[in-house]
Structure 1
Amino acid sequence: MTTVTTRRSDRRVSPVFVGILAVTAVTGWATWTGFAAQPGVAVFLFVTAAWIVSLCLHEYAHARTALHSGDVTVGAKGYLTLNPLKYTHALLSVVLPVIFVIMGGIGLPGGAVFIERGRISGRWRHSLVSAAGPLTNVLFAAVCTAPFWLGALDGVPADFRFALAFLALLQVTAAILNFLPVPGLDGYGVVEPWLSPRVKQQVEPFAPFGLLFVFALLWVPAVNNVFFDAIDAILRVLGIGDFDTYCGQSLYRFWEGADQICSVSP
C-alpha cells in the first residue's frame, strides 16, 4: 500500500493567493476612499478579486475536509495552498465563474479540486466534503452582509456599501446554486452517496453538463425572474435592499456607465 504524507510546504499559503488578497485590499481601500478617478473600475477590481478569494476558499474547504476524511493526497496536489493555478481545471475554476459574474451577476463556482473518493469511507463524510464548499460561501455571505444586519453602516462610503451588497449577492447565489442537487454541482455530491448504484449510473453521463445546464436555464426570463426574486428576498432579510445591489452591479459594470441615481444616497 502506498502511503502519502502531507508536508508542511503542501499547506503553505501560495504567493499567488497572497497577491490576490493584496489586490482585494488595495482596491477595497480605493473604493472606500474614492481614490480611483473612475469609481467603477475600483469596484470592479475589488469585487472580482474578492470573488476569486471566495473561489479559493470554496475549493480549500473541499480539500481540507477531504484531507480530514481520508484523502491524504490533496496536499501533494497543491489544493491546501489556496493557489487557484493548482486546481484541476483553471478555466472552470476561475475564468468561467468570473465570466458568469461579468455577464449576468451570477455567482457560480466551477468544479476544481479532484478528490480521490475511494480513500474516503462513510456516506456522511462524502456528503460533508461536497457541502464544505457552498457552506464557505454561506459564511462569506454572512461576513459581507454583517454591516447591514448589524446596522453598522454609519460612516461607510456609498460605493463601498454598494460593492459589499453586490458581493453578498454573488455569495448568496453561489451558495444556493451549488446546493442544487444537479449532477456536477456540490448539491448532487451531497445526496449522491445516499442514492442507489442504479440511479448513480443513470445520472453519471449528465454530470459534465450540469453546470452549463443551470447557467442556460437561468437565461430563461421566467426562471431568471423567479430566481432573483428569491435572492432579493433573502438579501432583504439580511438588511440589503434592491437599491444597494442594483447600484453595486451598476458600478461593477462600469463600461455601461453607472446609473446617476447611484451617485446619491437613497
Structure 2
Amino acid sequence: MTTATPRRGDHRISPVFLGIAAVTAVSGWAVWTDFAPQPGLAVFLFVTGAWIVSLCLHEYAHARTALHSGDISVGAKGYLTLNPLAYTHALLSIVLPVLFVIMGGIGLPGGAVFIERGRIRGRWKHSLISAAGPLTNVLFAVVCTAPFWLDGLDGVPDTFRYALGFLALLQVTAAILNFLPVPGLDGYGVLEPWLSYKVRRQVEPFAPYGLLVVFAVLWIPEVNQYFFDAVHAVLRALGVTEWDTDWGREFYRFWRGTPEIPTFTQS
C-alpha cells in the first residue's frame, strides 16, 4: 500500500471556494438590501452560490471524516481544500446538482470523493464516513431555517425570507435523497459495512445506476407527490411554509420575469 504524506497546502482553503463564498455573501447582501435592480437575479446568485457551498461542505465532511478514520490520502487529492474542481466527478458533484436546481428545484445528491476504504478499519467508521455528507445537509437546513423556528423573522425582507425557504427546500431534499438505502447513495454506504460479502458483491454492479433509478421513480407523479409531501412536512416542522418555498422558487427562476413581491401574511 502506498503512503501519502500530509502537506501543509493540503488543508488550505481553495481560492475557488473563497470566490464562490464571496459571490454568495455579496448576492445575499443584495437580496437583503434590495440593492439589485432585478431581485430575481440576486436570489439566483445567492441560492446557487449557497447551494454550491453546501455541496463543497458535503464532500469535505466525507473527506474529513475519512481522514480521521485512517485515510490520509484525502489530503493529497485536494479534498480538504473545499475546491469543487478537485472532486473525482465534478460533473456529478457540482454541475448536475446545479442543473437540477435550475430545472426542477430539487437538491440532487452529488458524491465524488474517492475514499481508500482499505485504509480504514471498523464498520462504524465506514458508516460514519458515508453519513457525514448528508448530515452536513441536515445541519445546513437547520441553519437556513433557524430564523423561522426561532421566530426571528421580524425585520427580515420578504425576498430574503423566500430565498432562505427555497434554499432550505434544497437541503432537505438532498438530505432525504442521500439517506435512501439505494446503491450509489450515502444511505446505502451507511448500511453496506454491515452486509455480508455475498450481498455486497451482488449489489455492487447496480451502484452506478442507483441515482438514475431514484430520479426515474421520482418522475412518477404519485411518487413525486408523496416525496414532496414528506419534504414539506419536514419544512413545516422547521417553520417554513409552502408559501415561502414557492415564492423562493419563483424569484430564483428570474428568467421567467420578476414576480410581484408578495407580502407574507400569517395564517
Tell me if TM exceeds 0.5. yes
Equivalent pairs counted in the alignment come to 265
Distance (Å, rounded) in 1 between the aligned partners of 2:217 and 2:106: 12
Contact 2:3 2:73 in 1 (8 A): no
Give a deviation string over 1:23-65, Cα, whole Å, max 9, x none.
Answer: 0000000110111111111001100000000000000000000
CA root-mean-square deviation: 1.0
Are residue 8 (structure 1) and residue 8 (structure 2) matched?
yes
Deviations 1:58-92, CA, capped at 9 Å, x for gaps: 00000000000010100000000000000001111
Q: Distance in 2 between matches of 1:224 and 1:182?
A: 17
Q: Paired residue for 2:136?
A: 136
**Match of 2:264?**
265
- Counterparts of 1:187-266 in structure 2, within 5 Å, are 187-260=187-260, 262-266=261-265
Structure 2 residue 167 is the aligned partner of structure 1 residue 167:
yes
What letter matches 1:30 in structure 2?
A
> TM-score under structure 2 normalisation?
0.97
CA distance in 2, matches of 1:12, 1:96: 26
Following superposition, the deviation at residue 100 of structure 1 comes to 1.0
CA contact (8 A) 1:180 1:188 kept: yes
Any residues of structure 2 matched to 1:1-266 within 5 Å, and which?
2-260=2-260, 262-266=261-265
Letter in 1 for 2:123: R
Q: Unaligned stretches of 5+ in structure 2?
A: none
Of 3-12 and 81-90, the range deviating more from structure 2: 3-12
Structure 1 residue identity aligned to 2:248: G
AA matched with 1:88: T
Find the residue that maps to 1:4 and give its secondary structure. coil
Query: What TM-score, normalized to structure 1?
Result: 0.97
Structure 1 residue runs of 5 or longer lacking an equivalent are none
Task: Tell me if structure 2 keeps the 8 A contact 1:87–1:93.
Answer: yes
Deviation of 1:102 after TM superposition, in Å, equals 1.0
Aligned counterparts of 1:265 and 1:153: Cα–Cα separation in 2: 11
Letter in 2 for 1:265: F
Quote how far apart the aligned CAs of 1:264 are: 2.6
**Counterpart amino acid of 2:157?**
P
Confirm or deny: 8 A CA contact 1:27 1:46 kept in the other structure: yes
Write the distance in 2 (CA, Å) between the matches of 1:153 and 1:8. Answer: 42
| 1: CA distance, partners of 2:43 / 2:230 | 25
Corresponding letter in the other structure for 1:263: P
SS at match of 1:74: helix
The answer to whether the 8 Å contact 2:38/2:258 transfers is no
Q: How far did 1:258 drift?
A: 4.6
Structure 2 CA distance for aligned equivalents of residues 192 and 264 of structure 1: 48
Matching residue's letter, 1:209: Y
Write the distance in 2 (CA, Å) between the matches of 1:124 and 1:146. 31
Contact persistence 1:110–1:211 (CA under 8 A): no
Which amino acid is 1:10 matched to? D
SS in 2 for 1:183: coil
- 1:111 partner letter: G
What is the CA-CA distance between 1:3 and the residue it aligns to?
A: 3.0
**Alpha-carbon contact 1:32-1:160 (below 8 Å) kept:** yes
Query: Hey, what's the Cα distance between the residues in 2 that align with 1:122 and 1:151?
Result: 43
**Inter-partner Cα distance in structure 2 for 1:221 and 1:255:** 26
Per the alignment, do residues 221 and 257 of structure 1 end up closer, same or farther by CA in structure 2, a change over 3 Å counting? farther
Change in CA separation of 1:65 and 1:205 when aligned onto 2, cut-off 3 Å: same
Which AA in structure 2 matches 1:11?
H
